[in-house]
Amino acid sequence: MSADTAPRVAATEAAVAELARLRAEYGPLVLFQSGGCCDGSSPMCFADGELLLGTNDLLLGEIGGCPFYIDAEQYERWNRPRLLLDVVNGAGTGFSLEGLHDLRFTVCTPPVAVEQHDRVPARS
């Protein structure tokens, strides 16, 4: 996959598995890359309809059937990174649904092509 067509957002198997578990519990979900309030710059997971999207919110892609948004100006300030969603132990301080299960989503900008992270094994 060329750099021009590589996905702007991808996820580890562990993050996709957590999204599937949350979807089974809460129904359709939306992910939003926070810009600094509440839980810093962490990705937030909401039940569909609980987050009002604005005209400046940019759809980066879809992970496990869940749309992933970021503020378009923030995405530009961050120099249009490719993001990799993961999940780790320990609840964040925001309102994201996975926090109810003592987990939190994180993002990083992978040093290798995002499409290579499709093979990241789930955490045990």
What is the distance, to the nearest Å, from the Cα of residue 102 to the centroid of all Cα atoms in its chain? 17
Domains of the chain by residue range: 9-111
pLDDT reported for residue 2:
46
Beta strands in 37-120 (DSSP E): 43-47, 57-63, 66-71, 83-89, 103-108
- What lies within 8 Å, CB to CB, of 48 at 6+ separation is 27, 28, 29, 30
Q: CATH assignment of 9-111? A: 2.60.300.12
33-85 residue pLDDT tens? 987 655 557 899 999 999 899 999 999 999 999 999 999 998 888 888 888 99
pLDDT reported for residue 95:
82
Looking at the predicted structure, is the pLDDT value of residue 92 above 80?
A: no
103-121 residue pLDDT tens? 999 898 876 544 444 444 4
